[in-house]
A and B are shown apart, each in its own frame.
Chain A
């Protein structure tokens, strides 16, 4: 009974309280107070080195927390398996496409035939149906990122973190990825994405977190951030000026 309740309950909201990330004693990000609610598409923006990736890794648990807390609605053990991450540079396992997509399910003990069937379905959804039996490492850049998305989504996470997933892609591939992301959001998955692309942020964001100097400098709805930025740094960033 307890298990069923846990299965139906979302791990969100994700709450960061005074969260700090230090590397070799130097504070890279934080302290950060931030709440990621149940719905929406959060875009994390900011200049290079502002801490966008570290913030995402901190929320996902890839970056060891040096101070403060990151808490979810459910215990850590459950929360860990109900979230996924898409890396800026796709990590391709040395396996066929179908087996790469199926891998998260195999880790959770899903039988091979069933995992492969679900992977085939997800490959079709992201437009990789033609490449099921190709080795993942030989795919094109756009295809690799689609594979990463399918692999991240196959376990139907409550929240999906994306670290500049379209950074190295052309316009067509970017549009295809954005379409998949919009469909994912429509299915109820919470999305948190770091990006430099202002156009993409305007197209996708429901709310924005603006990072600067390792801290959350500004946060709010997308419309208010883009139309009325509260800080000179955010205004400069939106205008394409050098942020100082």
Chain B
């Protein structure tokens, strides 16, 4: 209990001291996860919508696989990306291992199925409502997908925020491909893991509180900017 109290105090100290190392870690955490969310959304949102408006032979199987991939074990993803990016791997020539780019790649693989799957479910409901209208207006498949994503944009925020939540709290994959290198690839989760290993529980707890506060803050910010939950907005 004492360590939790100390952890809260440590979180306060970290935030108000504006320590450069701490800010660097927070900045990298946000950079990696937000980049992964943007890339994951660019892939996942159209993929979810595409699966709604298209009928093809193995559609159900594809959706089932996509849903299953939501539970991808991050450590396995980390291992796969590690092997692909290591010197002996097919992409070793790019020299990306132990860089923030490698961490973003790993996070994109983890969160894209999550964003695609949630957006698929959201867009499916909207498609049921819009189906006759869009067919009647002779909209092309691409126009249907654009309309569904645009009109469902506020609901689709949930998918993006779920991706952000999974990414910002992820440790297994980015530890493997990033290496938790100080001033290079250290993010909040890997720092927590390191400090816990060293027995600095209060400091680790402080970082944990900051991590949770950061996740809540980003969610609040996005909800405020997108004006969800307002009476006159759909």
A95 contacts the other chain (CB 8 A): yes
Residues of B within 8 A of A107 (CB): 137-139, 143
B137, A135: Cβ atoms closer than 8 Å = no
In contact, A91 and B132 (Cβ under 8 angstroms)? yes
A93 touches B137 (CB 8 A): no
Chain B contact-residue range equals 10 to 19
Residues of A within 8 A of B139 (CB): 107
Tally of A interface residues using CB under 8 Å: 19
Q: How far is the CA of A87 from the CA of B143 in the complex (A)?
A: 21
B160 nearest CB across to chain A (Å): 17
Q: How far is the CA of A60 from the CA of B233 in the complex (A)?
A: 33
CB distance from B137 to the nearest CB of A (A): 5
How far is A37 from B50 in the complex, measured between Cα atoms in Å? 39
Q: Does A137 contact B (CB under 8 A)?
A: yes
User: Are B232 and A135 interface neighbours, CB within 8 A?
Assistant: yes
Interface majority SS (helix, strand, loop, mixed), chain A: mixed
Contact partners of B152 in chain A: CB under 8 A? 94
Q: Bound complex: CA of A62 vs CA of B133, how far in Å?
A: 9
CA distance A80 to B143 in the complex (A): 16
7 nearest A-B residue pairs (beta carbon)? A94-B151, A91-B133, A94-B234, A85-B136, A80-B138, A137-B234, A104-B137
Residue contacts A-B, CB under 8 angstroms, 27 given:
A60-B136, A61-B135, A62-B132, A62-B136, A80-B138, A81-B138, A84-B136, A85-B132, A85-B136, A87-B132, A91-B129, A91-B130, A91-B133, A93-B130, A93-B133, A93-B151, A94-B234, A95-B151, A103-B137, A103-B147, A107-B137, A107-B138, A107-B139, A107-B143, A134-B232, A135-B232, A137-B234
Please list the residues of chain A having a beta carbon within 8 angstroms of any beta carbon in chain B. 60-62, 80-81, 84-85, 87, 91, 93-95, 103-104, 107, 134-135, 137-138
A93-B133, A103-B147, A107-B138 given. 8 additional CB < 8 A pairs?
A61-B135, A62-B136, A80-B138, A91-B132, A93-B151, A94-B234, A107-B139, A138-B234
